[in-house]
Structure 1
Amino acid sequence: MRRPRPRLLVPGAVLLLLATACGAVRADQDGSAGAAVPAPRATVTDPPVDGVQITSVTLPSASPAPSATPGGVHADRLPGGSGISAAYRVSNDGAEAMTYTVLFAFTTDTGAVMDHKEVTVSGVGPGRGRSGTVDLGALAPGASPVTRVRIEKVSKVPTAEAPARTGACPASGLRLWADDGDAAMGLRIVGLHLENCGKQDRTLDGYPRLTLLDEDREPVHGIRVLHGGTAIASGTGFDDPPAPLTLKPGQTALSALIWRNTTLAGTAVNVPYVRVLAEPGAAPVTVAPGLDLGTTGRLGVGAWKRAGR
């Protein structure tokens, strides 16, 4: 019977447990360079964030032998990358299959973010879990040492309504997703992309139908959804009225969510999710644009137009 490993208390925001995991590093058992030995891994005991938990972090460094330091456990760095990674566990305690999008931040001891990595975990069934690993890859030249990994953001939507940029074409024949958006001077614009991935022509004439949802994916009331970008700001590129648009298989249309994050009197409103119908009767797709609407109470939506216009 294997004996439990001794616990190592590490100062800082993360409590670490020194453990051994598979992974080659360039260090001998006696500390000299040459032989490959397992890279040490630090087990993290931070609580889950919306069902997602970092379970361990591997933080190789240029030191010739493994050594415990505040915030992580270090070993030699492998050629071609930083060797930094985090193992995570996604647990679904809900009643339906969910798809999770997780943004990980790789930071220094002071919390400065050196890079982000986004991972999508699809189809986690109710009462089930899924484990994985996210790798930082190569750090930019001159970047400060990464010593911690944290969960920056978790978005989760029903798998039946999950957006998809790639993969199998949905049964509806339409693939819809939101991009990362653009922000300037308090103006926010997030593109909605619609691809005809089916085998028949599809005709659009109008605006996407939107339902704003809170963190529990319940409807948010009191926000006016206005047609056209000019309802929020001029020059957004989504000012034209709707016109009939036929998408042949493989062609793409574009709309947008437009808002300002102005905060004056009252309570600021944040809307994490938007359920989108590309046209009446279409299958719903739930995107996670993170609408920081401030106290404006308004959201603009552009008419569908051909992508590239």
Structure 2
Amino acid sequence: MRTSLPRAALGALAAAVLLGACGTQTAGPGGEGAGVCGAGAAGGGPDSGAGSGAEAGASAQDGVRVVGMVEQDRGGASSCVVAYSVTNQEAEPFTYTITFSLTGAEGGAMSNTEETVASVGAGRTVRRTLEPVPGHADAGEVRIIDVKRVPSDEAPAPDGPCPSSGLRLTADDGDAAMGLRVVGLRLENCGSRPYSLDGYPALGLLDEDHEPVGGIGIVPGGEGIALVGGFDDPPRPVTLDPGEAAVSGLMWRNTTGSGEPVDVPYVRVRALPGADPVMVAPDLDLGTTGKLGVSAWRKDTANGASAPPRP
């Protein structure tokens, strides 16, 4: 999945490559350009068991490394594009969602683009190229600003084939107002039989290493957090026919007092206790409140009138 979206930079800038050497020329016989990307071009195949020498000298973040510029044949014209690698050092396949930032030749921010690299095998390194973003051919630099990685068997599936569970669970980008945060959860029945709900999503809060985060109370509704219309509605039985969806929401305050602020990058969500888990990455900045509210599932109508309550 490759999408371009305006998203704020997250975290430290971990890798960057200048694009000033990038150009385009007509390819010669055999479709190969003559040094379009200069001496910094990186070679090698798309998959390998370890990083190449070109990769070893670059900065990296969470297994993602900007390699450099590589030549790519596009219909008889050879141009240079950014190459990056993803190395999975875990013992099981992981799926990576990477946010790149493009800056102009003078250093100003131009656009962010997000790419997902699915199912990188345990101990494997894969090579990918960053597709040019329309309208930003004059980009001067690309940076890695955020990396999220989840076990592939728990990765959200916002599009493509329906998961084997028959359910598609995703989280939205969230809303914020005066320190109050709300992230919406959506559960779609993409299977072939009805699915019944009655209650709240089951949540597991996880740190950057996917280990449990303790000391956070998960409360029904907005108890002690905020009064938001609809968020405190009690659970009611919901039956989702194929093609229908239900919504819930997470709510918290980013308030900092005494103690160490708590950040929760990942949440393991089960539609109901015992259901197949899906790991989402909402980046909960809980401050020192020690509390996260969750609303009950309710049916999502076609016009969005039953979307999760917002502040």
TM-score w.r.t. structure 2 length? 0.76
Gaps of 5+ in 1: 1-12, 29-35, 60-77
Contact kept? 2:101, 2:111, Cα under 8 Å: yes
Q: CA deviation at 1:217?
A: 0.4
For residues 120 and 223 of structure 1, the distance between their equivalents in structure 2, rounded to whole angstroms, comes to: 30
State the match for 2:110 in structure 1: 114
Counterpart Cα distance in 2 of 1:306 and 1:281 = 21
Could you tell me which residue of structure 2 aligns to residue 245 of structure 1?
A: 238
Matched, 1:48 2:60: yes
2:204/2:267 contact within 8 Å kept? yes
CA shift, 1:215, in A, is 0.7
1:293 aligns with 2:286: yes
Deviation, structure 1 residue 124: 0.6
Q: Provide closer, same or farther for how the CA distance between residues 269 and 236 of structure 1 changes in structure 2, counting only shifts above 3 A.
A: farther
1:257 equivalenced with 2:250 (yes/no):
yes
How far 1:180 sits from its partner (Å)? 1.0
CA contact (8 A) 2:105 2:140 kept: yes
1:111-190 → structure 2 map (5 Å cutoff)? 112-139=108-135, 146-190=139-183
Separation in structure 2 between the aligned mates of residue 133 and residue 267 of structure 1, nearest angstrom: 39
- Following the alignment from structure 1 to structure 2, what is the Cα–Cα distance between the partners of residues 156 and 27? 37
Residue ranges of structure 2 left out of the alignment (5+ in a row):
1-14, 42-54, 307-311
Q: 2:16, 2:66 within 8 Å by CA — same for their partners in 1?
A: no
SS at match of 1:226: strand
Secondary structure at the residue paired with 1:300? strand
**Residues 16 and 118 of structure 1: CA distance in aligned 2, closer, same or farther (over 3 Å):** closer
Q: Deviations over 1:104-143 (max 9, x none)?
A: 1112467542111111111111011222122242237xx9
Matching residue's letter, 1:56? G
Is 1:278 the equivalent of 2:290?
no
| Other structure's SS at 2:162 match | coil
Aligned equivalent of 1:92, options 79, 82, 88: 88
CA contact (8 A) 1:26 1:37 kept: no
Contact 1:84 / 1:137 at 8 angstroms: preserved in 2?
A: no
User: Normalising by structure 1, what TM-score?
Assistant: 0.76
Larger Rg: 1
- Over 3 Å counting, the alpha-carbon distance change for 1:157 and 1:263 in structure 2 is same
Distance across 2 between alignment mates of 1:239 and 1:138: 44
Q: Report the counterpart of residue 31 of structure 1 in structure 2.
A: none
Matches within 5 A, 1:48-87: 48-57=60-69, 85-87=81-83
Return the structure number with greater relative CO, CA threshold 8 A, min gap 6: 2
1:130-188 alpha-carbon deviations (Å, 9 max, x no partner): 22122242237xx9x53111111111010010011111211211111111111121111
Counterparts of 1:171 and 1:282, CA distance in 2: 12
Compute the RMSD of aligned alpha carbons.
Answer: 3.0
Aligned counterpart for 2:214 among listed residues 221, 226, 242: 221
Q: What is the DSSP-based 3-state SS (H/G/I as helix, E as strand, rest coil) of the residue aligned with 2:61?
A: coil
How far does residue 197 in structure 1 lie from its aligned partner after superposition? 0.9
Q: 1:57 to 1:256 in 2, by over 3 A?
A: farther
Q: C-alpha separation between the residues in 2 aligned to 1:15 and 1:179?
A: 30
Indicate which of 262, 267, 283 corresponds to 1:269.
Answer: 262
C-alpha deviation, 1:19, in angstroms = 8.7
| Amino acid in the other structure paired with 2:219 | L
| Counterpart code for 1:152 | I
